[in-house]
Amino acid sequence: MSNSGHISQIDNLTQIRAEFPILHQQVNGKPLVYFDNAASNQKPLSVLNALDHYYRNDHANIHRGIHTLAERATEAYELSRKRTAEFINAAEPEEIIFTSGTTEGLNLVASTYGRKLLKPGDEVLITNMEHHSNIVPWQMLCEEKDLKLKVLPLRDNGEVKWELLDSMLTERTRIVSIVHASNSLGTINPISELSDKVHQAGAILVVDGAQASAHLEIDVQALNCDFYALSSHKMYGPTGVGVLYGKRKWLEKMPPYKGGGEMIKEVTLEKTTYSDIPHKFEAGTPNIADVVAFKTAIEFIDEIGKNTIIQHENKLLNHAHAELEAIDGLRLIGTAAEKVGVVSFVVDGVHHFDLGVMLDTKGIAVRTGHHCTQPLMECYGLEGTVRASFSVYNTIEEVDLLVESLDAIVKKLRN
Amino acid sequence: MKSINHIQDEIIDEFSILEGDLDMCVEYLIELGKKLSPLSDKHRVEDNIVKGCQSKVWLIANFQQGTITFQADSNTMITKGLVSMLVRILSGQNPDDILNSDLYFIHKIGMNRFIGTQRSNGLAAMIKQMKLYALAFMAKEQK
Ligand SMILES: Cc1ncc(COP(=O)(O)O)c(C=O)c1O
């Protein structure tokens, strides 16, 4: 996948940074450098204002009320669904289910589609680079239904050995669930090239889009995936909101995920009939305010433009790769040809934990450890890595500061 | 043998020279870590790992003539620094004193400020393990 489209530059990074109040603070006496964006990125003023505005002016419980505020809140909530559908090019808003995050989205697919439609002996295929949230729900399902979990291995550079896909897909494969972009390696997986094969094998394609949605152009119809899960908090939006996209034909076949209010058509004590999609999957009062503000986060991304964002983050990524490699004993983990702005590395003889704590004393926030991908770490014989991950507001100067600080820290820790 | 509180006060004094400068405190910790003699591979085993530490900590204890000798090691330098202070304070003390010790130096040197909660949990686990050893040796002695 290439970053096609017109090439654009971020003209005014200062202006973008001014949108993020949290960035303008000192941490441990130094200006904050926030490089933990893959875990969760920061929120622009427009999103903060949207939350504030909603609670000040429009809040009421949705769908059930006939009064003005209830209608306003419902409208805002449903508008967010519509905007989300456009953002990932779903065929219709009804294919958008609001969840609490990627984790819930993947669990929803496993517990509904998986429970209802898979039979003992069926197979689920994942890769060796998956986040725990795209491993554990399938393991639980496999245990419950007596299924087989198969894993596509990796190459040394952090790419999946896709040449093995054909042989791993069997007539028993029912679900293939793959991360769009790896949170530990940055690797972008060629989803659109896989879907035909997966479908020909009679399986569905589930995509964990947690790391891709703020960085890559997402078109679920072009990707031709059956489900796509993402998290708002990694996309400049509020925490506690996620999206599960699902093709209508599957969503209609699937049983509800949770029982309660909102998801029902009619309840008698003998039998309940369920609402139509998407409400069937949204039992109870949802996270209205954060869903409403998520729309503003999408607008923030669209205003700058995905192409511009990708361009900028790639520049940071390439610069970081080149500069970091010059540090004695530093080894990049994940050097796939197609990557999002995630740089993972280890330094010979120096523990990632020490590096993380020392960088924090310089005001630089990175993540250290296994990044919820223990099987991936094991596959490379690592306990963990240091990970720096970029968002649109990061600068080349910040990358330089990371490299300089790291160089000094490594020297200090070594002798 | 100096008392537990005496050694704690020495450490507080040493840190006070650094005037709370974060960089210097961490560098000092690393220096302390480097000075802690490493455990041999024989002791760096699963059984000696203290649970609850983000980085790995190995702890062994010996009880002789009424006092406990602690030896510890870690795979990370900063944790080694932290651990070395605990060893310096508690190693060579008697079980009763260890059990009843109040390790106020942690708060006094502002450890919480530069060692976040996740990491201080590791420290808490380490202290707990040291006190458990004290309890076990005390029980053995009374038998
Ligand atoms: C690749 C990937 N998948 C899934 C998740 C889980 O996302 P959430 O915690 O928002 O549910 C993450 C978050 O770290 C991730 O990076």
Using the predicted structure, report yes or no on whether residue A42 has a pLDDT greater than 50. yes
Tell me, rounded to whole angstroms, the distance of Cα B39 from its chain centroid: 14
Indicate the residue of B23, B78, B114 with minimum beta-carbon distance to A354.
Answer: B78
Using the predicted structure, report yes or no on whether residue A154 has a pLDDT greater than 50. yes
Whether B26 and chain A come into contact, CB under 8 Å, resolves to yes
DSSP state of A189: P
Handedness of CA A190, A191, A194, A196 (dihedral sign): negative
Strands (E), A153-235: 173-179, 204-208, 227-231
Indicate the residue of A28, A362, A413 with minimum beta-carbon distance to B77.
Answer: A413
pLDDT at site A20: 98
Is A47 within 8 Å of A301 (Cβ atoms)?
no
pLDDT at site B122: 73
Percent of chain A scoring above 90 in pLDDT: 90
Question: Which B-chain residues 104-123 have CB contacts (< 8 A) with chain A?
Answer: 114-115, 119
Whether B55 and chain A come into contact, CB under 8 Å, resolves to yes
Average pLDDT over residues A269-289: 92
Select from B107, B134, B112, B130 the least CA-distant residue to B52: B130
A92-101, A314-323, B49-58, B78-87: least confident range = B49-58
Per-residue confidence band for A140, with pLDDT thresholds at 50, 70 and 90: very high
pLDDT at site B20: 76
Is B58 within 8 Å of B71 (Cβ atoms)?
no
Q: What is the pTM of this model?
A: 0.92
Phi, psi for residue A82 in degrees, rounded to 5: -65, -45
Whether B23 and chain A come into contact, CB under 8 Å, resolves to yes
Rounded CA Rg of chain B: 15
Select from A357, A355, A349 the least CA-distant residue to A328: A349
Domain locations in chain B as residue ranges: 4-142
The total number of residues shown for chain A amounts to 415
Contact check, Cβ <8 Å, A354/B22:
no
Contact check, Cβ <8 Å, B55/A353:
yes
In chain A, the domains with their CATH numbers are: 13-36+306-410 (3.90.1150.10), 49-302 (3.40.640.10)
Q: What digits encode the pLDDT tens for the residues A336-375?
A: 999 999 999 999 999 999 999 899 999 999 999 999 999 9
Query: Is CATH 3.90.1010.10 the right assignment for the domain spanning B4-142?
Result: yes
Average pLDDT over residues A139-145: 98
> What average pLDDT does the structure give for chain B?
88
Using the predicted structure, report yes or no on whether residue A405 has a pLDDT greater than 60. yes
pLDDT at site B121: 62
Half-sphere exposure in the Cβ direction for A120 (13 Å, CA): 2
Q: What digits encode the pLDDT tens for the residues A48-78?
A: 999 999 999 999 999 878 899 999 999 999 9
Whether B22 and chain A come into contact, CB under 8 Å, resolves to yes
pLDDT at site A4: 40
pLDDT at site B113: 64
Indicate the residue of A351, A353, A357 with minimum beta-carbon distance to B26.
Answer: A357
Average pLDDT over residues A103-131: 98
Instruction: Pick A143 or B121 by higher pLDDT.
Output: A143
Candidates A26, A30, A354: best to mutate against B (most CBs of B within 10 A) is: A354
